[in-house]
Structure 1
Amino acid sequence: MGATSGITLQQLRYFVEVAAEGSISAAADLLYVSQPTMSGAIKDLEQRVGCTLLIRSARGVSLTVDGTEFLGYARQVVEQAGLLEQRYFGGQPSRRMLAVSTQHYSFVVEAFVRMVRGADAAEYAFALRETRTWDIIEDVRTFRSELGVLYRNDFNHKVIDKLLRDSGLGFTPLFLATPHIFIARSNPLADRERVTLDDLDGLPRLTFDQGANNSFYFAEEILSTRSSAQDIRVSDRATIFNLMIGLGGYTISTGIISDDFDPSIVAVPLDVDERIEVGWIGQSGIPLTEQALRFVAEMRDVVSGYGVETLS
């Protein structure tokens, strides 16, 4: 990159919004400036840093490799400037921004709800994406999301860790969980203290579809290589819970489930010698923004509330 002399905070704010919206015109509308003004500011920013930050097309804009790296630092500067103005110059709380990509965990939704409710801002732009494992890593790698939430265990950790290293990402453990099955309260197994794998024979196994990257290593459920006579893949939590109720199916997860969000589903311990390590991923060497740190703190608080010890 070239010299950064003359870069303004306004240009950085414009750039962060454009990257978040994927469109110069949409970002201009959000910030109440004209599209030519926004476009000119971004072009001037690229000239000052000495590289192309955005790829323009008829469908909008996307980040270049340099733009992806630049965005991480720009977010930090914009957020810190907002906190400075609020603390020392009596400014209004700045517009809060955070995007999170995650596997399908109700505790993440609960933490996200708490974060949004606690946001001290009149304006905010938050995003929560429940998506596939590969896409979580891609979202964080390309700065579409600041952090992601996923699990690893003895089976998948070498593959996941290598992919994270190759993507410039790091994994921070959040908690260790013993495997449970999620089933409907009406399921005959719902009153059992524990269930075995043999108990699950004959029940439909419900798993989250991983799309083109449907490797066993990217499965959201442990024991993904175990054969099942009845397999159903789904794409969202609402569907998987409906199939638990309608078909008596099950899925394997952490055992942390919210009665407020999922009142018809229960978790029953699964008698296997496995552990699930859930954590968050982020860009290596780039500190989380204050908003992301608040979200991580909320996740720890939610998990602790279910009696699960968090990891430092």
Structure 2
Amino acid sequence: MSRGLKNITLLQLQYFIEVASEGSITAAADLLYVSQPTMSAAMKDLETRVDRALLVRSARGVTLTDDGVEFLGYARQVVEQVELLEQHYLGRPPSRRLLGVSAQHYSFVVDAFVRMVKASDAAEYEFSLRETRTWDIIEDVRTLRSELGILYRNDFNRKVIDKLLRDSGLAFHPLFLASPHIFISRTNPLASRRRVTLDDLAALPRLTFDQGANNSFSFAEEILSTLSSKQEIRVSDRATIFNLMIGLDGYTISTGIISDDLDPAIVAIPLEVEERIEIGWIDHSGIPLTEQAQRYLDEVRAVVGGFGIALLDQP
């Protein structure tokens, strides 16, 4: 390394992580009890040291450049490793845990999140779980608002999803293959059936998750989205969709993994179709996951494995 170059400091990495998290230099400065000019100067000096723009500044705050997104991934890794060293050799307590996850509306995602939080050994943590639209999941992970995303793909949407992921610098990692099931209320007349067909569903309202401005078939959260339905209702959250299953005897198509603890009023019935649902997680290509993200994925694998489903990836 040239003697004219300055090293990046750990403090600058910590500052940068908070600025990216808060979306504001002023808010990050307040959080870390330093002055706004000090924080601003630290960010400008960091950009000088790495010889590239990491932040886009505006009156509304700051956003990350593409270089900033990549830099943030590595900064998190370095800071987390230093904290682990201090815990092991200096006897310091576990630091404040951070993790963001964005996902389609799956109960196993929530179940694993609950397990992760309960198992956390940190006195302080800041976790986020966003059940959201397919496009927004990809955008959240691209901008590192979330470190992980969980979504599905199949033969129908694979080309569109894979292209969008490639263009965003993201990678899809398969978790498991699921046979399609319908989710319905335990009081639904079909709840006693061992299996159902599409013809059995013709008279029932089909419930789907709204995809907003990107409401194309390729971004639908449910398979068989191109099939017409006489009665269709779009919703934005799982609580509403479950209430409509109970109140209107509606159905949605999903993985078949349902938590009796979290969703006791809903049951999953196998659907007789040839389709398969490939569930996977997405992250930034080439940026290692933090240990907290790995812990969450371990909980996801444990939940899915508890249903007797074979995993496609192993840690």
Output the amino acid matched with 2:156: F
Q: Structure 1 CA distance, aligned partners of 2:218 and 2:195?
A: 26
Instruction: Provide the rounded CA distance (Å) in 2 between the counterparts of 1:311 and 1:249.
Output: 32
SS at match of 1:174: strand
Where 2:297 maps in the other structure, the secondary structure is helix
The one-letter code sitting in structure 2 at the alignment partner of 1:212 is A
| TM norm structure 2 | 0.95
Contact 2:70-2:287 at 8 Å conserved across structures? no
Measured in 2, the distance between the counterparts of 1:303 and 1:59 equals: 41
Supply the distance in 1 between the matched residues of 2:269 and 2:302 (Cα, whole angstroms).
Answer: 22
1:199 paired with 2:200, answer yes
Q: CA deviation at 1:29?
A: 2.9
The whole-number CA distance in structure 1 between the counterparts of 2:124 and 2:29 is: 16
Q: CA deviation at 1:4?
A: 6.5
**Match of 1:145, as an amino acid?**
S
Question: What is the CA–CA distance in structure 2 between the aligned matches of 1:4 and 1:286, rounded to whole Å?
Answer: 25
Q: 8 Å contact 1:4–1:49 — kept in the other structure?
A: no
Q: Does residue 165 of structure 1 match 2:152?
A: no
Mark the CA change 1:138 to 1:288 in structure 2 (over 3 Å): closer, same or farther: same
Matched letter for residue 184 of structure 1:
S
Contact kept in structure 2, 1:175 and 1:309, CA below 8 Å: yes
Q: Tell me if 1:147 matches 2:114.
A: no
Corresponding position of 2:181? 180
How far apart in 2 are the matches of 1:160 and 1:44?
38
Partner of 2:291: 290
Q: Figure out how many residues of one structure are paired with residues of the other and give that number.
A: 311
Residues of 1 paired with 2:78 and 2:54: CA distance? 17
Structure 1 gaps of 5+ residues are none
Structure 2 counterpart of 1:129: 130
1:253 corresponds to: 254
Distance in 1 separating the partners of 2:29 and 2:73: 21
> Separation in 2 of the partners of 1:162 and 1:292?
24
Query: Secondary structure of 1:243's match?
Result: helix
The alignment status of 1:75 with 2:76, answered yes or no, reads: yes
1:263 corresponds in structure 2 to 264
Structure 2 matches for 1:63-142, cutoff 5 A? 63-142=64-143
Distance 2:33 2:296 in 1: 29
Percent pairwise identity: 77
Distance (whole Å) between structure 1 residues aligned to residue 260 and residue 221 of structure 2: 22
TM-superposed CA distance for 1:195, in Å, is 0.4
Q: Which amino acid is the alignment partner of residue 197 of structure 1? A: L
- Compared CA separation, residues 4 and 77, structure 1 to 2 (3 A): farther
Q: Tell me which residue corresponds to 2:213.
A: 212
Between 281-290 and 45-54, the greater mean CA deviation after superposition:
45-54
| SS in structure 1 of the partner of residue 94 of structure 2 | coil
Question: 1:260, 1:36 → 2: CA distance?
Answer: 50
Q: How does 1:24-35 map to 2 (within 5 A)?
A: 24-35=25-36
Partner of 2:225: 224
CA distance in 1, matches of 2:5, 2:146: 25
* CA displacement at 1:119 relative to structure 2: 1.6
- Alpha-carbon separation, structure 1, partners of 2:193 and 2:33: 58
Following TM superposition, by how much is the alpha carbon of 1:260 offset from its aligned partner in structure 2, in angstroms? Answer: 0.9
Give the Cα separation in 1 of the matches to 2:118 and 2:24.
Answer: 28
Give the 3-state SS of the residue equivalent to 1:266 in structure 2.
Answer: strand
- State the distance in 1 between where 2:153 and 2:82 align: 36
Q: Distance in 1 between matches of 2:118 and 2:33?
A: 26
Q: Report if the CA contact (8 A) 2:104-2:133 is conserved.
A: yes
Letter in 1 for 2:236: S
- Supply the distance in 2 between the matched residues of 1:257 and 1:145 (Cα, whole angstroms): 24
Distance 1:167 1:187, change over 3 A: same
Q: Which amino acid aligns with 1:305?
A: G
For the 8 Å contact 2:204–2:231, the answer to whether it is kept is yes
Give structure 2 stretches of 5+ with no counterpart: none
Measure the CA separation in 1 of the matches of 2:5 and 2:240.
49
The alpha-carbon deviation at position 304 of structure 1 amounts to: 1.0
> 2:44 is paired with a residue of what secondary structure?
helix
> Match of 2:101, SS?
strand
